[in-house]
Structure 1
Amino acid sequence: MSGRQLPAHIAAALAGNTADSAGQPWAGRDLSGPENPLHAFDDDDGAADPGLLAALAGLLGPAGRPGDAERAVFGALTTARVFIPIVARLSDQAEAATGLHSDKEAEMALVTLTAPDGRKALPVFSSTEALGRWHRDARPVAAYASRAALAAAAEDAQLMVLDPGADLTFVLRRPALWALAQQVPWTPSYEDPALASLVEEAAGLEEDVLGVGLRPAGGVLTRTAGGSIASGGGPGPELRMDLRLRPGLSPDGVRDAVASFRGKLLGLTGFVERVDSLDIKLTR
């Protein structure tokens, strides 16, 4: 069986091809970066993008709205260069030791991680130093973060993890990842007025649902290696739904009402596209 090929722009970078514009995962979209073929990184010193560093530092500033902090990091990623780790195929022993996964049939392969919930995640790094601390044998390939998001989509990854193993690790959840790949704006689900309207409309069709409120869930926050709380970048759940049901329902009635409403929401494309993970709490 032949090995899985690397995404075209990553393979081109490894081969030294500076004219890559083919093999884009989503046809018709120019994701080459600001007036940039791959040779834009020829003089790259490997340092982290200053705007991205500032946005990440903002996560540790005075407590504010998580949405502001997460939008700032997303905004910085729309123009930032990151590094994608590429590794030679790993032996079974090396895979067991590192927890990394790669395609053994390919000479070089993207590294993917497995998130705690079982989903696939693509690690990327703000600097070559951060990548080297994480995996000394990985080869850094410079790419705009939007390109890295496309690489994640090509690998069927639903998360992109920025600087795993560093003091602060930021998880870009699925809706933000897809928005970055498509180069379109992103609003956190817990602050999205269009999502709130969609949920309220769906709740109006459920006779046992009297009210619903949306706010950030605990999974939005994360911690640094030293234990400091960061106001964004957590792996989720990122959306908390406070659900008020009709009084007098039996335990089975409560369970059925929640399941019915949840099923209705999961059947709505607008909901699924905007929400990565959901935490439902019953309120009075």
Structure 2
Amino acid sequence: MAERALPGHIAAALAGAGGPADSAGQSWAGRDLSGDGNPLHNFDADDGSADAGYLAALAALEDGSGTEAQVVATLATARVFVPIVASLAEEAESDHGLVADKEADMALVTLTAPDGRKALPVFTSVPALQNWHPKARPVAVYAARAALSAVSEEAQLLVVDPGADITFVVRRPAMWALARQRDWTPSYADQEVARAVSAAVDVEPSVTGVELVQAPATATRSARGTVIAGGGAGPELRMVLHLAPGLDAQAVQGIAGLLQQRLAADPLFVERVDSLELKITR
């Protein structure tokens, strides 16, 4: 087969540059794109494995020596992979009745949580992503950047390694903290949240006490069946109200409704509490 000739303008450009060259006319011959002087991107030395700090914090959470906050803190500097998949556009017919080639658009993958909220999945390693969706393309980003993408997609959850041995859910307040590159304190350990709740209940004489604790729904379960005290979707905050005796059901319901209205009107509480579970004792 005869060698195919280059278009004249391209051949002239190559000849003027002394051979194959880049758009600035610099020859490719002898050039080396490796090394610190020519990084291809932020992760050019990345082998696709999970961040060691994240794995250590997750193992500590599993054995009971770590906390959710420590896991989220490791994500602040960790690289994750966001899955991108190709979605085919519809075929277009030309004026001559010929069908044009399909165009493929790359789309960000989102999930729907059991409670209906939108979630963005991210993966700590390439194998974890490929096991979940073999055709998904891994795009490496810092977890903070992934959290920012989740916010822009109006997602309320960041789900780390769905389908893996341990799936860790980063709930909305923690996800926002990652996106803003700020430290995160869980609402059940946040003293400012506790003060906001105290201010809301102090005006109710029928409330004799209040406790804020980590709700059981924050727990998750590993593939081995181990229950882990963190990483679940929530509700993450349990508010235990102690009421004076003698109140009927209607009075109790009225007190609970008023407290929920006051807390829903508190900007700090709304920002830092993803979801609330109310328990009443007498």
TM-score bucket (shorter structure): 0.7 to 0.9
Partner of 1:41: 43
Q: Distance in 2 between matches of 1:212 and 1:40?
A: 48
Q: Distance in 2 between matches of 1:211 and 1:158?
A: 32
Q: Matches of residues 1-284 of structure 1 in structure 2 within 5 Å?
A: 39-61=41-63, 63-64=64-65, 68-89=66-87, 107-284=105-282
C-alpha contact (below 8 Å) 2:215/2:235 kept by paired residues: yes
Q: Structure 1 residues 212 and 38 mapped into 2: Cα distance closer, same or farther (>3 Å)?
A: farther
Secondary structure of the 2:163 match is: coil
How much has 1:283 moved relative to structure 2? 1.5
The amino acid that maps onto 1:84 is V
Q: Distance in 2 between matches of 1:159 and 1:90?
A: 27
Q: In structure 1, list runs of 5 or more residues that go unmatched.
A: 1-36, 92-104
TM-score by length of 2: 0.79
Q: In structure 2, list runs of 5 or more residues that go unmatched.
A: 1-38, 90-102
Q: How many residues align?
A: 231
The amino acid that maps onto 1:127 is S
C-alpha contact (below 8 Å) 2:82/2:122 kept by paired residues: yes
Q: Structure 1 residues 207 and 77 mapped into 2: Cα distance closer, same or farther (>3 Å)?
A: same
Q: Structure 1 residues 38 and 84 mapped into 2: Cα distance closer, same or farther (>3 Å)?
A: farther
Q: Distance in 2 between matches of 1:39 and 1:143?
A: 10
Secondary structure of the 1:273 match is: helix
Q: Distance in 1 between matches of 2:119 and 2:219?
A: 18
Say which one has the larger Rg. Answer: 2
User: What's the CA shift string for 1:152-174, capped at 9, x where partnerless?
Assistant: 00100010000000010000000
Deviating runs (4+, > 6 A) in structure 1?
none
How much has 1:182 moved relative to structure 2? 0.2
Secondary structure of the 1:200 match is: helix
Q: What is the Cα-based RMSD across aligned positions, in Å?
A: 1.7
User: What's the CA shift string for 1:97-155, capped at 9, x where partnerless?
Assistant: xxxxxxxx981111000001100000000000000000000000000000000010010
C-alpha contact (below 8 Å) 2:88/2:105 kept by paired residues: no
The amino acid that maps onto 1:55 is A
Partner of 1:14: none
How much has 1:89 moved relative to structure 2? 1.5
Identity over aligned residues, as a percent? 58
Q: Distance in 2 between matches of 1:243 and 1:109?
A: 46
My pick for the range that moved more, 205-214 or 159-168, is 205-214
Q: Report 1 or 2 for greater relative contact order, CA contacts < 8 Å, sequence distance ≥ 6.
A: 1
How much has 1:90 moved relative to structure 2? 6.7
Partner of 1:7: none
